[in-house]
A and B are shown apart, each in its own frame.
Chain A
Amino acid sequence: MSQPGTLSGRAAPAAPRRSRLDRRFLGLVAALAALILLNVVLTNNFLTLQTIAVNVSQVAPIAIVALGMTLVIATGGIDLSVGAVMAVAGALAPLIFLSGWGQASPALGLVASIALPLLVAAACGLFNGMLVSFLGVQPIIATLILFISGRGIALVLTNGNLQTFSNPGFATLGTGRILGLPVQGWIALALALVVALVVRKTIYGRYLLSIGGNERAAALAGTPVARVKIATYMICSMLAGLAGLIVVAINSASDAARVGNLMELDAIAAAVVGGAALSGGRAPILGTLLGAVFIQLVGYTLIANGVPDEATYIVTAAIIVIAVYLQDSRRRT
């Protein structure tokens, strides 16, 4: 998608950049369309509600995390802790509604089991953001701390046990359907639209892109760099927390060792395929959404046509290389 390039502090080449980004977005749309067409021909029962629902259900958590990752990447940062934050949020929710208090007042318990994990996730983001902006720790190192510790905290909370539950209210997050499609797909779509609007239409969005474009210039121009960065890490963590809740709701079970495992890689891949540049300054939100769908669909295509699971790793690797290469060659032209 295009971005308000004129606001990025590197104002002069705005027009050509915009058109290049549009071309890139169109390229992704074309690739996605080709892939869908290929599936219509190759894969049995591809255009059934069941198939679509399965894919939407699987891709939604990745897409939600990737939205936040895109924002962080737009500031020139990276967030390795998203998978761990998912595990923490996913571990907390069942603890809350399965507690004596949660069972005594189910409605309140349900609300708390969604709100509290999101608050804790926000606190994780605050931690990351403060390390990055106040202490000047590089994002990859700052978020490495929670990457290492976060899952451990989730495991300590649950004592490493698999928490299974039957809580229809909570499970709706992962198994509910609206118009035949999984609820989390709609949530991901709605969030993508909101985030895209925020990036394009709000002052926060302008600050975000200007920091990624040229942080020093942005700071000199009066951008509240620290506040914007902290807010961005908090948004990213909260989206990860939400994705954690959804994954747990899908399975009606929370396994702290597995929820969100390797999610940081999926999210980064989706963002990069969608057109985000690690150097910052771009927040192609709808591109990220399509990037997540594209990677998911490639994996599904391979599996549905009998290619072994493992090959998807290699194909994903190739997609990442191609996406980054195209991006880079465009930057050079």
Chain B
Amino acid sequence: MTAEPLDLNLRRFMRPLGGGTHLTVWVALALLIALGAWRYDNFLSAYNISSFLQYNSMFVLISVGMCLVIMTGGIDLSVGAVAALASVVAALLSPLGLIVALPAGVLTGLVAGLLNSGLIVGLRLPPFMATLATMLAARGVALIVSDRQAVSVDWTSDFTALGMNKLGPVLPWTILVAAAVVVVAWAVLEKTSLGRTILAVGGNAEAAHLMGLKTSRALVFVYLFSGACAGLAGVFLASGYGAGQPLEGQGWELAAIASVVVGGTLLTGGMGSIPATVAGALLFGLVFNMLNFENGLGVISLSAYWQSVIRGAFLLVVILLQVRLARPQPSKA
């Protein structure tokens, strides 16, 4: 949307500068954790760390999926609704145990991802509109399947073990699974030709296609991956909080986009960092967490409503910092 797109080619060559943005988010994360540890008594308690990680494992997942999508220059607005649908599906199947409910939830996400990629690659719809349609459809199906009610999980089966059990005192299984997914995404991006193709599509889809790269395959992959991440996040939600929630996940897609942006990835695609996106997601969660502690200290008394205001302000600061490092390119919807 800038008036001087000529600059952009130059900036593209200066892509390593993006490393500066990526570094910022890690430094910010470290500083916030240090501040929290210094300021609040129970900040580094096992309980706080584990509940923080349990809650944010869902956001790490969808942010990583979103990051891959955004690297291709696309966007996936359907992740929140898909997570809600998957949570309902998993909760309904929870009597059959984790062995059935977990794959079913992920499969739900994959089906949504397949729908997205069919609309985007097959029918050539703009990703924004295609995933908006999938978002509405997934929300509708979730409400129908759940009969508009939260679906309680079967507590007698092993389904809740995934969401509620921990490895040791602080590490919930969900964050370990999420970490594994992060590693997979990172490996695909950094170590495979598919990963190169993903970045090439985001850099210049037409050039990538003309070079003979399998651009369609890359696009199908990222939307399937994002869908699967959203499905898995839905399973975490049902398993960790005891119910499939057809109305949960509103705005998750935007939280994920914000995390990706905070992690220094530009929406124009062609660049980005999986680890920095994870840091971005954790940073967003941490702002929330620290606000609770700040209230607990009684120094300030901010209602819960301030949290979104502060998150927005935080996003603004990050964007202003980013603008200094790289100007975004006009988006082509």
The CA-CA distance from A310 to B137 in the complex, in Å, is: 9
Closest approach, in angstroms, between the C-beta of B313 and any C-beta of chain A? Answer: 7
Contacts A136-B1, A310-B141, A317-B140 aside, 7 further interface pairs with beta carbons under 8 A come to: A148-B315, A152-B307, A156-B303, A311-B144, A313-B137, A314-B141, A317-B137
Q: Which of B45-86 contact A (CB under 8 A)?
A: 75
The CA-CA distance from A138 to B260 in the complex, in Å, is: 14
The CA-CA distance from A76 to B331 in the complex, in Å, is: 8
The CA-CA distance from A74 to B166 in the complex, in Å, is: 51
Contact B313 A149 (CB under 8 A): yes
Closest approach, in angstroms, between the C-beta of A288 and any C-beta of chain B? Answer: 15
Interface size on A, residues (CB 8 A): 60
Any A CB within 8 A of the CB of B191: no
Q: Which of A225-252 contact B (CB under 8 A)?
A: 225-226, 229
Partner of B312, one of A137, A146, A160, A328: A146
Any A CB within 8 A of the CB of B167: no
Q: List 15 A-B contacts (CB under 8 A).
A: A133-B1, A140-B267, A145-B319, A148-B311, A149-B312, A152-B306, A152-B309, A155-B303, A216-B3, A312-B140, A314-B136, A321-B119, A321-B125, A328-B123, A328-B125
Any A CB within 8 A of the CB of B257: yes
Contact B133 A135 (CB under 8 A): no
Contact A272 B144 (CB under 8 A): no
Question: Chain A residue with minimal CB distance to B140?
Answer: A313
Chain A residues lying within 8 Å of B330, measured Cβ to Cβ, are 76, 215
Question: Chain B residue with minimal CB distance to A308?
Answer: B144
Chain A residues lying within 8 Å of B305, measured Cβ to Cβ, are 152, 155-156, 159-160
The CA-CA distance from A78 to B258 in the complex, in Å, is: 16
Q: Annotate A125-161 by CB proximity to B: 1 below 8 A, 0 otherwise.
A: 0000001110111111110111111111101100110
Contact A278 B129 (CB under 8 A): yes
Contact B257 A144 (CB under 8 A): yes
Closest approach, in angstroms, between the C-beta of B188 and any C-beta of chain A? Answer: 25
Any B CB within 8 A of the CB of A265: yes
Contact B331 A160 (CB under 8 A): no
Chain A residues lying within 8 Å of B128, measured Cβ to Cβ, are 78, 140, 278
Known pairs A159-B303, A310-B143, A321-B119; A141 contacts B309 (CB<8 A): no
Closest approach, in angstroms, between the C-beta of B254 and any C-beta of chain A? Answer: 6
Contact B309 A156 (CB under 8 A): yes
Across the A-B interface, give the 7 residue pairs with the lowest CB-CB distance, nearest first: A149-B312, A313-B140, A152-B308, A278-B333, A155-B305, A310-B143, A152-B309
Partner of B3, one of A215, A312, A320: A215
Contact B316 A145 (CB under 8 A): yes
Which residues of A line the B interface, CB within 8 A?
A: 76-78, 80, 131-133, 135-142, 144-153, 155-156, 159-160, 215-216, 219, 225-226, 229, 262, 265, 268-269, 272, 277-280, 308-314, 316-318, 320-321, 324-325, 328, 332
Contact B137 A314 (CB under 8 A): yes
Contact A265 B1 (CB under 8 A): no
Contact A152 B119 (CB under 8 A): no
Identify the interface centre among B123, B327, B333: most chain A CB within 10 Å of its CB: B333
Contact A148 B3 (CB under 8 A): no
Chain B residues lying within 8 Å of A318, measured Cβ to Cβ, are 133, 137
Chain B residues lying within 8 Å of A141, measured Cβ to Cβ, are 257, 261, 267, 319, 328
Q: What size tier do the contact residues of chain B reach?
A: 35 or more
Chain B residues lying within 8 Å of A137, measured Cβ to Cβ, are 1, 319, 323, 328
Partner of A265, one of B2, B136, B319: B136
Contact B133 A144 (CB under 8 A): no
Closest approach, in angstroms, between the C-beta of B322 and any C-beta of chain A? Answer: 8
The CA-CA distance from A170 to B19 in the complex, in Å, is: 54
Q: Which of B256-271 contact A (CB under 8 A)?
A: 257-258, 261, 267-268
Closest approach, in angstroms, between the C-beta of B75 and any C-beta of chain A? Answer: 7
The CA-CA distance from A219 to B1 in the complex, in Å, is: 11
Any A CB within 8 A of the CB of B12: no
Any A CB within 8 A of the CB of B15: no
Question: Chain B residue with minimal CB distance to A75?
Answer: B1
Closest approach, in angstroms, between the C-beta of B2 and any C-beta of chain A? Answer: 4
Chain A residues lying within 8 Å of B316, measured Cβ to Cβ, are 145
Q: Annotate B292-333 by CB proximity to A: 1 below 8 A, 0 otherwise.
A: 000000000001111111111101100110010001101111
The CA-CA distance from A278 to B251 in the complex, in Å, is: 21
Identify the interface centre among B129, B134, B135, B319: most chain A CB within 10 Å of its CB: B129
Chain B residues lying within 8 Å of A142, measured Cβ to Cβ, are 319
